[in-house]
Amino acid sequence: MLRCFRCILNFNLNLFPKRATNLNTFFLTMETLNGTEGENIPLTDAIKMTKAFRDANPLAIKAFYIGRDIMNELLNQENCVGMRIYNALDVYNQAQVVIVGVTADNVDLYEGIRADKTKPCPTLCDNNSPLNQ
């Protein structure tokens, strides 16, 4: 039911091969981070990606909600330029995520703030969102 990040990424690379073509090179690259990584994608891409995941994983958790306060606390840590989201299982063996800050040198701030206790969809979902249709 819960797939590893590499599996999900590989699945998404098949949908959007222009973003990264060599998965091994992608995972071996050690670059300096500056906080500008990631991009705003078109809604049509977001809809296509979330639908493809739901179609391939009909019983999986669709999304996780996390509040602004813990995210701001995580991002406001000294030397934090972004965050890394780890797939995880909670004590009840349910899908969850663990979120940590990351430095410019690609080092997890695991001894700092660790965000968890997100709210899964289902049950906390926006049923009118095109990302959940």
Residue 35 backbone zone (phi > 0: left; psi -120 to 50: alpha; other: beta): left
Task: Give the angle subtended at the CA of 5 by the CAs of 120 and 76, to the nearest 5°.
Answer: 70
Predicted local distance difference test score (pLDDT) of residue 31: 79
Q: Tell me which amino acid residue 118 is.
A: T
Q: Do residues 24 and 9 lie in contact, with contact meaning Cβ atoms separated by under 8 Å?
A: no
Per-residue confidence (pLDDT) for residue 1, from 0 to 100: 39
Residue-level pLDDT, tens digit, the chain, 133 residues = 344 444 444 444 444 444 444 554 455 456 789 999 999 999 999 999 999 999 999 999 999 999 999 999 999 999 999 999 999 999 999 899 999 999 999 999 999 999 999 999 998 999 999 999 8
The domains of the chain are located at 5-132
Going by C-alpha positions, the residue among 93, 110, 92, 90 that lies closest to residue 101 is 110
The whole-model pTM stands at 0.73
- For residue 63, give the nearest of 76, 43, 75, 46 by alpha carbon: 46
Query: What's the Rg (C-alpha) of the chain?
Result: 16
